[in-house]
Amino acid sequence: MPSNSKTKIKLTILIALLVVFAIAMFKQYMPMLKLPTNSRIEDEEQRLKSLLGDLGVQRKMNSAWQADLAALNVKAGKFWKRAKTGSPVEQEVLDEFNNIARLASANIQSRQASLVKASNSNYVQEVELRIEMRGISMKEFTRLLKQLRDNRRKFYWHTCRIEPENVQKPTGVKVSGRLKAYILSDDGSRILAAGKELSSSGSEQKANATLAKKQPRVAKKTTKGAK
């Protein structure tokens, strides 16, 4: 019988130790357990409403930004975007004009492009092109005008003078003038490219994805008596 008493004592001590251990573990890990109580559900619902409100503000800001970007792209329509990197911008303008003259079958005797230093903008470069044509017909000059008009990269007449090459025998005309081309600088191109990239990537979709990650999984209020 004494052995039974000792066994009971050992079991009692073991049970007491297990209870103490269970209480200690419960206190340690209880803060990590988030039971879906009514108060916690209400807090999460309020947080979700706040996030939805923030999303609405972001959508409005994004719409305004998209409108500004569209207006900027319209204004930037007359500006060239560099096709060649590393080469002088004047040479690119000259090559473009030479191609236009070739398509118009126009004989250009003299042409010279020079960069105009712009002091009021870091995003647009202005190139002036001086041309001279001698002994051409008005039909030939009209073809050049049409090619300039239809060309995707626009030239703008700054001055243009047309006069008979020979007053005594006006068989042809002499045309001299200055044209200007406006080219986006590298910084200007990067700004527009970045805007288009953000627009096409769907910034609103990213916002929705971020919200979905933060959105809590709200349990149904089925817990009775929970505080």
Angstrom distance (rounded) from CA 181 to CA 124: 10
Angstrom distance (rounded) from CA 180 to CA 81: 15
- Specify the length of the chain in residues: 227
The encoded tokens of residue 82 equal 């560099």
Segment 64-81 shows an average pLDDT of 73
Q: Which of 78-92, 119-133, 137-151 has the highest mean pLDDT?
A: 137-151
Q: What are the backbone angles phi and psi of residue 125, rounded to the nearest 5°? A: -110, 140
Domain residue spans in the chain?
Answer: 79-189
- In this predicted structure, the answer to whether residue 145 has a pLDDT above a threshold of 80 is yes
Q: What are the backbone angles phi and psi of residue 160, rounded to the nearest 5°? A: -155, 130
* In contact, 185 and 122? CB cutoff 8 Å: yes
- In this predicted structure, the answer to whether residue 68 has a pLDDT above a threshold of 60 is yes
pLDDT at position 123, please? 76
| Secondary structure class of 126 (helix, strand, coil) | strand
Q: Which of 52-66, 77-91, 201-215 has the highest mean pLDDT?
A: 52-66
pLDDT at position 221, please? 44
| Whether pTM exceeds 0.75 | no
What pLDDT band is residue 199 in, cutting at 50, 70 and 90?
low
* In contact, 183 and 79? CB cutoff 8 Å: yes
CATH of domain 79-189: 3.30.70.60
- In this predicted structure, the answer to whether residue 213 has a pLDDT above a threshold of 80 is no
Q: What's the whole-number average pLDDT of the chain?
A: 78
Residue carrying structure tokens 């929970």: 226
- Could you count the other beta carbons within 10 Å of the beta carbon of residue 185? 17
- In this predicted structure, the answer to whether residue 1 has a pLDDT above a threshold of 80 is no
The encoded tokens of residue 130 equal 């001086």
Segment 184-193 shows an average pLDDT of 75
Residue 65: closest CA among 220, 198, 183, 208: 198
HSE (CB half, 13 Å, CA atoms) of 154?
A: 10
Segment 35-53 shows an average pLDDT of 82
